[in-house]
Structures are given as C-alpha cells and as structure tokens.
Amino acid sequence: MEVIIEPDVDAAAELAARILVRRIREHPASVLGLATGGTQERVYAALLRLVHSDRIPTDQLVTFNLDEYVGLAPDHPASYHRYMQQHLFAAMEGGPKRINIPNGLARDIVAECAGYEQAIREAGGIDLQLLGIGEDGHIGFNEPTSSLGSRTRLKTLTAETRWINRAFFKPDEEVPHHVITMGVVTIMEARTCLMVAFGERKAAAIAAMVEGPVTAMFPASALQYHRDTMVVIDEPAASQLKLRDYYQGVYAAKPAWQRRD
C-alpha cells in the first residue's frame, strides 16, 4: 500500500481528485468504481472543480457504485442513487456514459447481485475503485466477518454502522438493516484502489487497515493483498500509524515519473 499523508482535509481531497482526474484525462473511457459517504462529498466537490476548470471530458466514463440500501427508492433522500446525483452526476455535463448502482428495490436480490457482477465483467473490470472506510473496517458495506472471498450480495448492517449512518436519515426514519454491496473480492479485482479517509475518528481504522493483521474481522485489511492501493489521508487520520514517518519520507522522495496525480 502506498500511504500519502496530506496536512489537512482540503489538501487530501484535492490530491484524491487529482489522481482521479489524471486517470480520466489519460483514459477517458475508464471504468470507475465510486463510493459514498461524507468523505467522498469532499472528493467529489474537488473533482467537479477540476473537471470544470480543466475541461475534462467525462462522457465516456462508465461507473459502478459500491453499494445501496435495500428498500430505498432511487429518489429517497438517503439513497445512494440520490447521493450520487446530488454530489457528482448532476453537475457533470455530458457524462458519464453509463452509471451503475445496485437496485435496492430489486424483487430478486440474488439475480440483481449476479447481474451486477456480470455488468462489471462486461465493462472490462474496474480500473480505479474509490473507497472510504467505516470505523469498524468496512469497505463498501462489507461489515466485520464478511468473507474475504465475497462478491456482490445482500449484507446486514451492524448496529454501529446503522447508528453512524442515521445522520443521513430523518429523525423518525429507520436506517435499513439490509444493503446490496460489492464483495471484498469484487473490490480486490479493481486494478487500482484509492482509499480516502479524513479525521481522527478514522485514525484507528486506518492503522488497523495498513498495519494490522489481515482478518475478516476488519475487511479493509484485505487491501494489504492488493497490488496497487493508494491511501490518501489527512494528518489526523494518520495519527495512529506506527510507520508514519516512513510513509512521509517515501512520498517526499518519490521520483516524479512515479507520481499518479
């Protein structure tokens, strides 16, 4: 894993956006894996600024989102369909060419999940997968004890994740128990992964993911087996890393040709 530590949230979001933009500029027909959550709101805002200022074409992009709540209509304010429209797609002139987000209203969830995997395969696989991390180590909605061999499927959220995500729902609404999420292997098959996390709240999770044991109790740790994962974080999110100085030294000494932004 390559760990890149930026001084603050703005710098980290900007760097993540620059990595995405460079990929799109060099390969306009990229297949992007997209994520949701508060963290990505910052990344998408920075991405849109760059797409507009640098006139980056997005109309050939194909996108696949990681997950969606079961039982929420696409126009529900807390659905990830709505999130993506609100934070990215509505402001992206002309693109993407094809947007894929799991259908939380599918009657046949098993068929929906199999179809999602098939669509990823038919698109040629995911080139770059954007990721956030849950405090319990989830990526997508792969909660602790998720099979490290899993693919897109139905998952049940932990009480902790439902409690944290209640912020996106009205006070009188119940956070769904079930979601459809890409599996750990679906994510691991992306050619490149870009994990973004901000704030002290994520520091323990980042340390466990980068430096802890690989375990299904902490699904993000599976990324230690991924050959091309970049972890872009701010100083507070890096605060529990044992080898923090080493990562900073590696990045500072990085040859220009190796840079990805």
Considering only 4, 35, 182, 232, the residue that binds ligand GLP (CB under 6 A) is 35
Considering only 5, 70, 133, 205, the residue that binds ligand GLP (CB under 6 A) is 133
Amino acid identity of residue 148, one-letter, is: L
| From 5-13, 17-25, 37-45, 246-254, span contacting ligand GLP (CB under 6 A) | 37-45
Alpha-carbon dihedral sign for residues 133, 2, 50, 98 = negative
As a whole number of angstroms, the distance between CA 22 and CA 125 comes to 19
Query: In this structure, what token pair is assigned to residue 40?
Result: 């990505």
Considering only 5, 14, 18, 36, the residue that binds ligand GLP (CB under 6 A) is 36
What is the C-alpha end-to-end distance of the chain, expressed in Å? 16
Of the pair 56, 68, the CB lying nearest ligand GLP is at 68
Question: Does residue 137 belong to the site contacting ligand GLP (CB under 6 A)?
Answer: no
Query: Is residue 127 annotated as a catalytic residue, yes or no?
Result: no
As a whole number of angstroms, the distance between CA 162 and CA 147 comes to 20
CB 65 within 8 A of CB 80: yes
Considering only 66, 120, 209, 233, the residue that binds ligand GLP (CB under 6 A) is 66
Distance of closest approach, residue 145 Cβ to ligand GLP, in angstroms: 16
Distance of closest approach, residue 219 Cβ to ligand GLP, in angstroms: 11
As a whole number of angstroms, the distance between CA 88 and CA 92 comes to 6
CB 13 within 8 A of CB 38: no
Considering only 38, 77, 124, 149, the residue that binds ligand GLP (CB under 6 A) is 38
DSSP state of 70: T
Distance of closest approach, residue 43 Cβ to ligand GLP, in angstroms: 9
Which residues of this protein are in contact with ligand GLP, per CB under 6 A? Answer: 35-39, 66-67, 132-134, 140-141, 161, 165
